[in-house]
Amino acid sequence: MSVTPGGNLLQASFPGIPMSAARSMSTNTDAASLHAVIDAEPAQIMSNPVGRAVYVVLGFVCLGLGIAGYIVPLLPGTVFLLLATYFFFKSSERMYNWVLNNRQFGHVIRAYRAGYGIPRRIKAYAIALIVVSMGVSIAVATDTVAIRLLLVAIGVAVSTFILTRPTTETVLASSQD
């Protein structure tokens, strides 16, 4: 099954995106248009104040790690920004909108949420960082076999997740056919 912007998968995943916006995205799919992808779905704030406070804290932690990931080598920024977006989606409409509309990285998150997937370069970079960081952790940080096996399992799971997401270049090529 191929994922195409504006298709049924997009509507099922993000019902708040208007169909007119999804149609315009599917007809204007060059790389420059990824910067203009909109996300019209409003935040769905949870009603539990304790849960909301926990999600706000987690959102800020992930946001900090995500911003650091764009500066510090070996720290993936996009993954943490996606997590921050999710946590703010459930806890803070103001921060959710700030992340989505950020000049530096908002377009990456909006494109992912709109069904454009993850660029091939970012997938390769993220998996390389996982291999290096898990390898260093396994070699240096622990002597326990169980912890080493856990780290390998986490690395494989996260890499599998990244590899199974749509690739932006593939989505763009299939929508231009």
* pLDDT (tens digit per residue) in 35-70: 555 555 677 888 899 999 999 999 999 999 888 887
Mean pLDDT of 86-114: 87
pLDDT given at position 88: 92
Q: Using a pLDDT cut of 70, give the percent of the chain over it.
A: 75
For the entire predicted model, the pTM comes to: 0.58
Residue 106 has pLDDT above 80, yes or no: yes
pLDDT at 34 over 80: no
- Which tops the pLDDT comparison, 177 or 61? 61
In this prediction, residues 77-84 reach a mean pLDDT of 83
pLDDT over 80 (residue 97)? yes
- Domain boundaries defined on the chain: 8-176
pLDDT score at 177: 65
Q: Is residue 107 very low, low, confident or very high in pLDDT (cuts 50, 70, 90)? A: confident
Query: How high is the pLDDT of residue 70?
Result: 76
More confident residue, 145 or 114: 145
Q: If you write DSSP's letter for every residue of the chain in order, what string do you get? A: ----TTSHHHHHH-TTS-HHHHHHHHH--SGGGGGG----PPP---S-HHHHHHHHHHHHHHHHHHHHHTTSTTS-HHHHHHHHHHHHHHH-HHHHHHHHT-TTTHHHHHHIIIII-B-HHHHHHHHHHHHHHHHHIIIII---HHHHHHHHHHHHHHHHHHHHSPBHHHHHHHHH-
